[in-house]
Homo-oligomer: A and B are copies of this chain.
Amino acid sequence: KKIVTLAGDGIGPEIMAAGLAVLAAVAPKINFDYTIEAKAFGGAAIDAAGHPLPDDTLAATQSADAILLAAIGGPQYNDAAVRPEQGLLALRKALGLFANIRPVQIFEALKHLSPLKAEIIEGVDFVVVRELTGGIYFGEHTLNERTARDVNDYSYEEIERIIRIAFDIARGRGKKVTSVDKQNVLATSKLWRIVADEVAKDYPDVTLEHALVDSLAMKMITNPSDFDVIVTENLFGDILSDESSVLPGTLGVMPSASHAENGPSLYEPIHGSAPDIAGLGIANPISMILSVAMMLRESFGETTGAAYIERAVHQTLLAGVLTKDLGGQASLSEMTEAIIKHL
């Protein structure tokens, strides 16, 4: 199994090392053989090769069995997102990573971090499914001196495949899909709703509800335990999936997966490269480590290995080993070692 790692910038290299240390520790327990190929991506790749996604990085990801990405960007690159149209967005498009999956869960040991009252976050456990290779992200962009234009395109097929992913996930969980659109204004949303209703016919065991994006942006916070699988288009998904991280109250414990129809999936923390604490050895590696667990489960069918990691993370948190962002004093390496010990 070839795993390509894109450590990126800021705290990226540190947390990637932590994730790989945990992988190395769990692998013998589950007889998992793998090789690692580290490649430059993002700001680091601009520094090294003048381009955020060098050809050999792209080629390596294309022949990988799975990809781990840590984080990219930093103030020295003069753009928080490191030329996304040549970097992150180009990578998503080239690999066809159309389905971005973000589980939202509250860790018992971290409940106090949520800005929300305890009774609101009680029982929160949902997944945000975001369409990742279509919509206004990839339509024509025109910037003139006095006018600008973006085009939002969706095809039936693009909508259908992401809605199916949402229904498939819901079938294995709470059997409810909330499809989010702005159907009272956008043509793409009208099509979205038509397709969602059509796909729903193939899943009589799963309930479909529609929500307008403005209304959902409220309900996700006021009634978060109502949701099981939330599915939406690229731009709404960008906003709502970031908004959902408000519930656990920390970006530090949320992994994500991005899947293609064929080819490797990519796993990454939802947080950024935190340049202000880069190199200090105090970054929180949990999102990265849980991304490794997602990879084991979703790319390699290693459910036992994934469960080992997830349990070890829970136990480490319950044991009070917390990095600074979580209100504790553990260093990155102390936390990583504690997780490995709990495996």
Contact = CB atoms under 8 A, between A and B. Distances in A.
A84 interface: yes
B141 A186 contact: yes
A319 interface: no
A160 to B, nearest CB: 10
Nearest to A112: B117
How many copies of the chain does the oligomer comprise?
A: 2
Contact of A148 (B141, B154, B240): B154
Interface residues of A, number: 57
Q: Which of A117, A120, A182, A217 has the most CB of B within 10 A?
A: A217
Interface string A131-173: 0000011010111011111111111110000000000000000
Contact of A187 (B148, B240, B242): B148
A190 B81 CA distance: 13
B141 A147 contact: no
Contacts of A84: 184-185
Nearest to A272: B215
A245 interface: yes
A213 B96 CA distance: 25
Interface string A13-41: 00000000000000000000000000000
Contacts of A145: 156
A89 B154 CA distance: 23
Contacts of A221: 115, 221, 243, 246
A239 interface: yes
B184 A79 contact: yes
A280 B83 CA distance: 56
A90 interface: no
A46 interface: no
Interface string A230-273: 00000110111111011001000000000000000000000000
Interface string A30-65: 000000000000000000000000000000000000
22 contacts: A80-B212, A115-B117, A115-B222, A136-B136, A139-B149, A143-B190, A147-B153, A147-B156, A148-B187, A149-B151, A149-B152, A149-B154, A149-B187, A150-B151, A152-B152, A213-B238, A214-B241, A214-B242, A217-B240, A218-B243, A221-B243, A243-B243
